[in-house]
Amino acid sequence: MAGVSIEERRLADRYVLGDRIGHGGMGQVWRGTDLVLGREVAVKTIDLTRVPDESAAARFEREARVTAGMSHPNVVTVHDSGVEGDTAYLVMELLPGPSLAEHLADGPLPIEEVIEVGRQVASALEAAHARGLVHRDIKPANIAYAADGRVRVLDFGITQLADTTGSHSLTATHTVMGTAEYLAPEQALGGRVDGRADLYALGCVLYALLVGGPPFRGASAVATMMMHANDPVPEVRSSRPDTPGWLADLVTSLLAKDPDGRPAGARAVVQALTAHRAPVVAPTVAMSPAPSAVLPPVTPPAPPVTDPARRGSSWPLVVIALVAVVALALLGWQVLAQNADPRVTPSTTPSVATSAPPTTAAPETPSPEPTPTPTPTPTPTPTPSTSASPDPAQGVTDGVAALNSAVRVLQRDGTLDQKAAKSLDDGLGKITKALRGGDAQKVASETTSFVADYDKGVQDGSISPEASAALDPLVADLTAAVGSYAP
């Protein structure tokens, strides 16, 4: 490690380096200790002697500052950066979870998990591209699970500042940087790239998560890059038949050779994946103890996809159990309603003999006169909703109402601070306004923004773990309802 004594294994007289926990073409990652704050961190060191440019150190520091300015729940937090001798370094949060590359070693991921991981990565790219940052090396090894259950995108430290003025950045034009299996054709050929190259890489990642490996893999890195540039895009469903058609089409569009043929931006990918997120199986029991992950559940009815250890096929048993619970609850409600007040006829009981005398009557003797008007149904029907509303918009309305109610209760109890509660109320108000206008796309867009703000609040601590444990299932219900309303 040039410029730093191996014996000291220390940077800036503050960060003590321990074991190496990763390495790549642009540097190495170390488990470290911040002596000032007394916390464990991850430190990435980059040997600037390998970058053939005298101004590399200054430009690295500039780009690192821009990266450190990002605050997003799906981007790894950068605490510090600097240059010491010929070594540039980034100090980041230490992620305990496995990377997607390690997770993928066990085989392809469940469809719902692929959708959720893709949504989170696309959300990170949307935030980065809005700041002019192009990642250039999106791959499973640069996506890892964090302690809160979300995935984080790593390695924004070697990004290119998208520059329409033509000035160079650390990763300049004609410098091929990245991993061959996940390189966009224009990047593989050494051309200037923009955010659309990241979308291509995301397509490669989604393909790998669905199939078990990247779409192109040649005998060498050069051969692989030429395959990206020239070979037709492989059909996802030929290797993973259970892939939904819309998801296969999305992957194919992301892997378009021509950047103009790809989705318009990361936001479009976020919206597509959000609209098709799997619905929660049993929203009536949403207040059951929430899993430790803070993401909405995405694999019905298994735990959230953000729990990297969960796989298996036990969900049918869970479905049966949930159906049994709901059925028993309904039966119990009917019995209680009948016993509580004999004057009230439960609306779920057909009124087939309301005009019959209380004594046993011969059912074979029909009335000789024509049947008068049908037996009137009581107008005020105190029936609890036990099944999905036939009106998709009503599901969204109910989801917003449940969240509004929970926010008020949590704020009243002091579990949720006033500023966070107002932010959540504002977001829910925008969803309601879009719903009243009948604009399904606007409802989906406002919901995406609401979920992003909610995730940010959980990440920065303005929404406490106790509050998120209560709100997570309700947020999941809302996103599922919006998915049905705005497919």
Nearest by Cα to 423 from 401, 397, 449: 449
* Token pair listed for 77: 């937090």
* pLDDT bucket at 281, cuts 50 / 70 / 90: very low
Mean of pLDDT over the chain: 75
The answer to whether 484 touches 393, Cβ cutoff 8 Å, is no
Quote the tokens at residue 171: 């990763």
Six-digit token string for 21: 């926990």
Q: Residues near 70 by Cβ (< 8 Å), separated by ≥ 6?
A: 78, 127, 128, 131, 133, 156
Is the pLDDT at 206 greater than 90? The verdict is yes
Tens digits of per-residue pLDDT, 328-349? Answer: 555 554 544 444 444 333 434 3
DSSP of 379-405 = SS--PPP-S--SSHHHHHHHHHHHHHH
pLDDT (mean) for 451-474: 82
Looking at the chain, the whole-number percentage of residues with pLDDT higher than 90 is: 36
Q: Which pLDDT score is estimated for 4?
A: 42
Q: What is the pLDDT of residue 59?
A: 64
| Active site positions, annotated | 137
Identify the pLDDT of residue 349. 38
pLDDT for residue 331 = 52
Assess whether pLDDT exceeds 50 at residue 357.
no
Lowest mean pLDDT among 94-98, 217-221, 275-279, 413-417: 275-279
pLDDT above 80 for 229: yes
Instruction: Give the tens place of pLDDT for each residue, 160-173.
Output: 544 433 333 333 33
CA pair distance 242, 211, nearest whole angstrom: 11
Q: What pLDDT, on a 0 to 100 scale, did the predictor assign at position 207?
A: 98
Asked if 286 contacts 473 with a C-beta cutoff of 8 angstroms, the reply is yes
| pLDDT tens per residue across span 403-440 | 887 888 788 778 888 889 999 989 999 999 988 888 88
Report the C-alpha gap between 470 and 285 in whole angstroms: 12
Looking only at the bridges linking them, the beta strands covering 133-134 and 78-84 are unpaired
Q: How far apart are CA 116 and CA 435, in angstroms?
A: 24
Q: Is the dihedral of CA 358, 364, 368, 371 positive or negative?
A: positive
The count of residues in the chain is 487
Q: In this predicted structure, what is the pLDDT of residue 471?
A: 86
Q: What is the pLDDT of residue 285?
A: 33
Strand 27-34 and strand 39-47: the pairing is antiparallel
Query: Contact, 94 vs 76, CB < 8 A?
Result: no
Higher-confidence residue: 287 or 442? 442
For the ranges 251-265, 313-327, 412-426, the lowest mean pLDDT is seen at: 313-327
Q: What is the pLDDT of residue 458?
A: 84
**Residue 281's closest CA among 322, 243, 324, 310?**
322
pLDDT-derived band at 317 (thresholds 50, 70, 90) equals very low
Average pLDDT, integer, range 260-273: 96
d(CA 106, CA 102): 8
Neighbours of 314 (CB within 10 A): 11
Phi, psi angles (nearest 5°) of residue 349 = -100, 120
Q: How far apart are alpha carbons 8 and 85 in whole angstroms?
A: 14
Helices (H), 162-277: 185-188, 195-211, 221-230, 236-239, 245-254, 266-275
The pLDDT value given to residue 398: 83
Residues 435, 375: contact at Cβ < 8 Å?
no
Mean of pLDDT values over 463-471: 81
- The rounded percent of the chain whose pLDDT value lies above 70 is 67
Please list the residues that pair with 10 across neighbouring strands.
16
Find the mean pLDDT for residues 51-72.
69
**Residue 156: band (very low, low, confident or very high) from pLDDT cuts 50, 70, 90:** confident
At which residue do the structure tokens 């730093």 appear?
A: 4
Buried/exposed code over 153-187 (b: 16+ C-beta within 10 A; e: otherwise): bbbbbbbbbbeeeeeebbbbeebbbbbbbbbbbbb
CB under 8 Å to 287, separation ≥6 — which residues? 470, 473
pLDDT for 123: 96
Closest CA to 158 of 29, 19, 257: 29
| Structure token pair of residue 414 | 């002091």
pLDDT at 308 over 50: no
Cis peptide before 301 (omega within 30 of 0): yes
pLDDT at residue number 166: 38
Q: Is the pLDDT of residue 129 over 90?
A: yes
**pLDDT value of residue 158:** 55
Q: Can you give the pLDDT at residue 334?
A: 53
pLDDT-derived band at 208, boundaries 50, 70, 90: very high
pLDDT at position 63 is 63
pLDDT class of 62 with cuts at 50, 70, 90: low
pLDDT beyond 90 at 451: no
Q: Are 151 and 344 in contact (CB under 8 A)?
A: no
In the predicted structure, residue 3 carries a pLDDT above the cut 60 = no
Residue among 6, 20, 3, 7 nearest 83 (CA):
3
